[in-house]
A = this chain, B = another copy of it.
Amino acid sequence: MNFLEERILKDGVVKPGNVLKVDSFLNHQMDIALMDQMGEEFRRRFADKKVTKVLTIESSGIAIACSVAREFGVPVVFAKKSKSINLDGDMYVAQVESFTHKNVNNVIVAKKFLSADDHVLIIDDFLANGCALQGLISITESAGATVAGLGIAIEKGFQIGGRVIRNLGYDLESLAIVESMDADTGTVVFREQ
């Protein structure tokens, strides 16, 4: 069991409806030492990849992305979820459905921040149905850039997202893959990796 799986068992809370609450250390309150440990682990897992940019999506992917980008010595670009009047000029846009918020967002990256020369490591905190990651992959490939890999903190292995992205041939690394959860007993079972 790795450091993130241990932390999930210690501080995560299972709620009805297959909701895993990790808001005390990952996506509302954030433990910076844990973020840095994830950054180091992703650096190790993608050590053979050329990475020129880390791409994530607001908001809870940003902290992890910063720790990863520090390890690789590259910038972070975070995709925005709605059109801001401060974003001018040409943008890459993808539509992303949110499982949590039950809505559809336009996800936007300014074209000037991704080029055909970029090797992009895509980072996010959660992977469930994979809509957010598919949007980030679509934006990366619209730019003619290369998807170097995808790094996720917590994957819900019982949802389809991870399988689809691996089937498409992408190098997807999830630090913790939840196979099943039980809100009554508070149990979380992880996939052996």
Contact = CB atoms under 8 A, between A and B. Distances in A.
A87 interface: yes
Interface of A: 15, 19, 21, 23-25, 28-32, 35-36, 58-59, 62-63, 66-67, 69-70, 75-78, 80, 82, 84-88, 100-102, 109-110, 112-113
User: Is the contact region of chain A dominated by helix, strand, or loop, or is it mixed?
Assistant: mixed
Given A35-B66, A36-B70, A82-B101, A28 B59 contact: no
Contacts of A86: 19, 21, 23, 100
Number of copies: 2
The 8 closest A-B pairs by CB, nearest first: A58-B59, A59-B59, A62-B62, A30-B76, A29-B113, A29-B77, A32-B70, A32-B69
A86 B101 CA distance: 9
B78 A30 contact: yes
A42 to B, nearest CB: 14
A32 B87 contact: no
